[in-house]
Chains A and B, each alone.
Chain A
């Protein structure tokens, strides 16, 4: 490999990072709010804004999917934080013990949890004992330094896995005898070997909501390792090790090692992330595996191939021939798996434009169209001529491949941005969650669930009981929803009995979001009516 050529690659890579930084900016700007992540809080007890007569013995947080708590803190009215360490997980609910008596005033229950995709989510619930006071300040700002670090770590890990391990596969399986790009591939693997553990630390920091300065603490690393991203890092390290060994180890074992490395790339990606956490798992995880392994196959071969063609080596034609014969099914698989995952994640075409996740996907698709155009020109116009040995064509092909490399790096940047954007699938799950309220009076109590808990057409499900938890056989139940500050007349609908002991109101349309008052008029007997009411929050 000539020095000039290496310099050119360095320049190309440098340019790539400039563009990647632009994409990072785009990705972060397009991300609306970190509170919108995948595991969404759907119910809190005490509810946000609640005023309690006395100290609750426990708190409970219910999420849209099972989570495990990372940090639970109660901030007292005077701003002193109290760590809450005793909690139990019950499916999607986290029940937290409150060990102490609370003084009067507004408290903040601050939570940070992680769900199956390995991405931490945080938020807080304000409640007051006795009467509300000024809420204590709780910092929950987006840590841009940490976000940049996570994103950079992710891009470097992609370079290590796709260009490094993928490159090792290309060199051992496709480019027998050609060693062009071997130094670059090894460098990419080493870059991955550094980025993988660092990413684990960043993940730990994100999980704990800690600043970059705490990277040295063992707790941060243990926390990172305990998340599903810990598996991604461990498998990545194994895959990177296998890739490296296939290049520097004994030649006899090179091919199986490189193949195992390639499989490791797919497995590492399938271990965590939005797409792997999506349902149905039997479909998404294998699809992520195929997608990851396919990218490594393709992207990994580009640089060694470009350099081989540029160096005009005799074996470059053989390399190019093998690559162009195998790439078609691999790309077909790559597109197939990618399409399946995109459909599962994005769900509706509108979400492509309306969500940060969708916009990143559009950027990625635009880059892909460009990449496929170049690849198609290479494959069908230049490859045959280059295989035959036409020097000028080989140069052109080599230049085209360096542009492809650039686009591939941009795609890595866009894909790494997904770390900060919940997929429309998760947003839809969160939006479909019901909103609930519980009413308890001496005469009667009721649970009202409004599904979905946002504006538009909804269904209300009502369970009523007597004030002492006995069965309440009502003659009629009427739901009255009112929002006096909205200028809308109360919405009054008789409930029907579906036959399972509950009452329901179908085809109810809630016009505006906010805090509504839900009242139940329960006709207990001909001359006896009980009216109970409670506030219920309707999401936009």
Chain B
């Protein structure tokens, strides 16, 4: 358990200030093989401009994704094939939602909002590693791409626009 406490503590101490400015996940760790409710926190617009669309890419291994509709926003999903077939409630699934788009709304820079979807974390996801959900934030005449994934050994805090990440815990 220590293995997870240390990074978690480090995150609380070091990560909070940086996390304020970024799009992040509300729950930043979850066991593999479980259902995960992802809450994307959007703290501000792009360079002061109002957010008009939020698009998130669903990483491989997150299956059966269902986004939560949001009043004032048009919800769309893009479906596609998974890299392999997964077992979900005893059934084999080989395709599903690969991208979720909330668009047509307007979230001014001075307001905060959340965008929610739910999915299942496949049981064979690598425990101890981080799973990233790249997000594109579109605003009036500007775009911020929260899509940077640290390379092996790279400090996540050094990234300008890191993708929201989720620590994978062992299966319960």
Contacts and interface: CB of A to CB of B under 8 A. Distances in A.
A529 B57 contact: no
In which size bucket is the chain B interface? under 10
B57 A527 contact: yes
A91 interface: no
Contacts of B145: 523, 526-527, 529
B29 to A, nearest CB: 22
Given A526-B55, A526-B136, A531 B147 contact: no
Interface string A526-537: 111101000000
A527 B57 CA distance: 7
B152 to A, nearest CB: 11
Contacts of A529: 145, 147-148
A527 B147 contact: yes
A528 B148 CA distance: 8
Contacts of A523: 145
Interface string B31-56: 00000000000000000000000010
Interface in B113-160: 134, 136, 145, 147-148
Nearest to A480: B160
A527 B78 CA distance: 14
Nearest to B143: A476
Interface residues of A, number: 6
Contacts of B136: 526-527
A401 B4 CA distance: 99
Nearest to B132: A527
Interface in A479-530: 523, 526-529
Contacts of A531: 148
Contacts of A528: 134, 147
B159 to A, nearest CB: 9
A134 to B, nearest CB: 31
A529 B147 CA distance: 7
Contacts of B134: 527-528
Contacts of B55: 526
A526 B145 CA distance: 8
Nearest to A441: B151
A226 B25 CA distance: 73
A528 B99 CA distance: 13
Contacts of A527: 57, 134, 136, 145, 147
B141 to A, nearest CB: 13
B5 to A, nearest CB: 31
A531 B147 CA distance: 11
A46 B136 CA distance: 40
A38 B30 CA distance: 66
B158 to A, nearest CB: 11
A531 B150 CA distance: 10
Contacts of B148: 529, 531
A494 to B, nearest CB: 11
A134 B171 CA distance: 56
Interface string A88-131: 00000000000000000000000000000000000000000000
A526 B147 CA distance: 9
B138 to A, nearest CB: 11
Nearest to B57: A527
Of B55, B134, B136, chain A has the most CB atoms within 10 Å of the CB of B134
A462 B68 CA distance: 43
A178 B28 CA distance: 108
A239 B148 CA distance: 74
A387 B36 CA distance: 114
Nearest to B159: A531
A527 B136 CA distance: 7
Contacts of A526: 55, 57, 136, 145
Of A523, A526, A527, A528, chain B has the most CB atoms within 10 Å of the CB of A527
Nearest to A528: B147
B70 to A, nearest CB: 21
B165 to A, nearest CB: 14
A531 B151 CA distance: 10
A531 B158 CA distance: 12
A520 to B, nearest CB: 14
B170 to A, nearest CB: 28
A526 B148 CA distance: 12
Of A526, A528, A531, chain B has the most CB atoms within 10 Å of the CB of A526
Nearest to B59: A527
A397 B36 CA distance: 109
Interface of A: 523, 526-529, 531
The 4 closest A-B pairs by CB, nearest first: A527-B134, A527-B57, A527-B147, A529-B147
10 contacts: A523-B145, A526-B55, A526-B145, A527-B57, A527-B134, A527-B136, A527-B147, A528-B134, A528-B147, A531-B148
Given A526-B57, A526-B145, A528-B134, 10 more contacts: A523-B145, A526-B55, A526-B136, A527-B57, A527-B134, A527-B136, A528-B147, A529-B147, A529-B148, A531-B148
